[in-house]
Amino acid sequence: MHSTQTKYPNDKFDVVWRKVGEGSEWRIKCVDCPGKLYKPGPGETLSNFEVHLKNRQHRQRVDDRIGK
């Protein structure tokens, strides 16, 4: 996760433990895009979430929050 935070220093997200059926899984919650949880992966990386971080709407929300 550290390299993702270094690459996207203005993005805020939390890693949460979510109960799913009989088990539990890690999910990533974007602070700027409420209401959505993202699956990490592949494995325990944030590579899939990085697609979201590059999304045009997400980038606009971050820019609005930081005053760009």
φ, ψ of residue 2 to 5 degrees: the values are: -55, -45
Structure tokens that stand for 44 in this block: 């325990």
Structure tokens that stand for 54 in this block: 């590059």
pLDDT at 44: 76
pLDDT at 46: 85
Helices (H) and strands (E) in the chain, counts: 3, 3
Residues contacting residue 38 through CB under 8 Å, at least 6 positions apart = 27, 28, 29, 30, 48, 49, 52
Confidence tier at 1 by pLDDT (50, 70, 90):
low
- Tokens 């609005």, located at residue: 64
pLDDT digit string (tens) for 7-60? 999 999 998 998 888 999 989 999 999 898 999 888 878 888 999 999 999 999
Residue 2 has pLDDT above 90, yes or no: no
